[in-house]
Amino acid sequence: MNNSSSSSAMRSADNSNNDSPPVTQSSAGFFIRRFIAGREIDINLSDIVFNVAATREIEKIYLDADGFALMEQAGAAMARELISLYPSRDTPMAIFAGNGNNGGDGYIVARELLKSGYSRVLVLQAVPQKPGIAAVRARESYLSLGGRAEPQEGTDLNPDQIPAIMTELSHGTSRTPVIVDALTGIGFLKSRPGDPVFEKIAAAVREINRMGCPVISLDVPSLLNANTGMPLIPGLAVRASHTLTVFTMKPGLLLGQAGDYAGRVITVLNDLPDFAYHVRMLQAREKLFALNYHDLGRFLPVRARSAHKGDAGRILLVGGSLGMEGALITAGRAALRTGAGLIRAVFSGGVRSALNALSPEIMTGFPENIPKDLAWCDAAVAGPGLGRSARSGGIFREIYGKARKLLVDADGLYWLLRLSENPALMPRSRPETLILTPHVGEAALLTGKTTAQVLADPLETAREISRKYGAITVLKSAATLVSDGKFTVIISTGSRGMASGGMGDLLSGVIGALLAGGMDPFQAAVLGVAVHGEAGCLSEETDGALGMAAGDLLPFIRRLINGRAGVQEKPKEK
Complete DSSP assignment for 195-206: SHHHHHHHHHHH
Residue 8 has pLDDT above 80, yes or no: no
Query: Please, is 451 exposed, middle or buried when counting C-beta atoms within 10 Å of its C-beta (0-12, 13-18, 19+)?
Result: middle
- Is the pLDDT score of 168 beyond 90? yes
DSSP strand pairing (480-483 vs 488-491): antiparallel
Considering only residues 45 and 284, tell me which one the structure prediction assigns the higher pLDDT: 284
Q: 186 pLDDT exceeds 70?
A: yes
Which amino acid type is present at position 500? S
Looking at the predicted structure, is the pLDDT value of residue 207 above 80?
Answer: yes
Span of 23-27, 152-156, 229-233, 294-298 with lowest mean pLDDT: 23-27
Predicted pLDDT of residue 532: 97
Per residue in 105-161, pLDDT (tens digit) is 999 999 999 999 999 999 999 988 888 899 999 999 999 999 999 987 667 788 888
Question: pTM above 0.85?
Answer: yes
Measured between alpha carbons, how far is residue 291 from residues 34, 387, 506, 547 in Å?
A: 13, 34, 20, 27
DSSP output for 388-422 = SSHHHHHHHHHHHHH-SEEEE-THHHHHHHHHHH-
Domains and CATH numbers, the chain: 52-285 (3.40.50.10260), 309-561 (3.40.1190.20)
Tens of pLDDT, residue by residue over 528-540, are 999 999 999 999 9
Q: For the segment 239-281, what is each residue's pLDDT rounded down to a tens digit? A: 999 999 999 999 999 999 999 999 999 999 988 899 888 888 8
pLDDT at 26: 54
pLDDT at 283 (0 to 100): 80
**What's the confidence (pLDDT) of residue 5?**
35
Q: With cut-offs at 50, 70 and 90, classify the pLDDT of residue 20.
A: low
How high is the mean pLDDT of the chain? 89
Angle at 507 between CA 505 and CA 508, to 5 degrees: 65
Q: Which pLDDT score, from 0 to 100, does residue 24 have?
A: 57
Task: Note the pLDDT of residue 13.
Answer: 34
Q: Which amino acid makes up residue 507? A: L
pLDDT at residue 38, as a whole number = 63
What is the per-residue pLDDT across 441-489, written as a single tens digit (0 to 9) for each? 999 999 999 999 998 899 999 999 999 999 999 999 889 999 999 999 9
Coil, strand or helix: which one is 450? coil
212 versus 37: the higher-pLDDT residue is: 212
Nearest C-alpha neighbor of 244 from the set 275, 265, 214, 225: 265
Q: Specify the DSSP class assigned to residue 186.
A: T
Q: Per-residue pLDDT tens for 518-567? A: 999 999 999 999 999 999 999 999 999 999 999 999 999 999 999 987 65
Residue 90 above 60 pLDDT? Answer: yes
Name the band, by pLDDT with cuts 50, 70 and 90, for residue 21: low
Question: Burial, 132: exposed, middle or buried (Cβ in 10 Å; 0-12, 13-18, 19+)?
Answer: exposed
Between 6-15, 158-167, 364-373, the lowest mean confidence (pLDDT) is in 6-15
Among 269, 377, 387, residue whose Cα is nearest residue 320: 387
Label residue 67 by pLDDT band (50, 70, 90). Answer: confident
% of the chain with per-residue pLDDT over 70:
91
Predicted pLDDT at 572:
47
Name the percent of the chain lying above pLDDT 90: 70
Q: What is the per-residue pLDDT for 46? A: 61
- Quote the pLDDT of residue 568: 53
pLDDT of 295: 87
Residue 16 in this model has a pLDDT that exceeds 50: no
Q: Give the per-residue pLDDT at 30.
A: 74
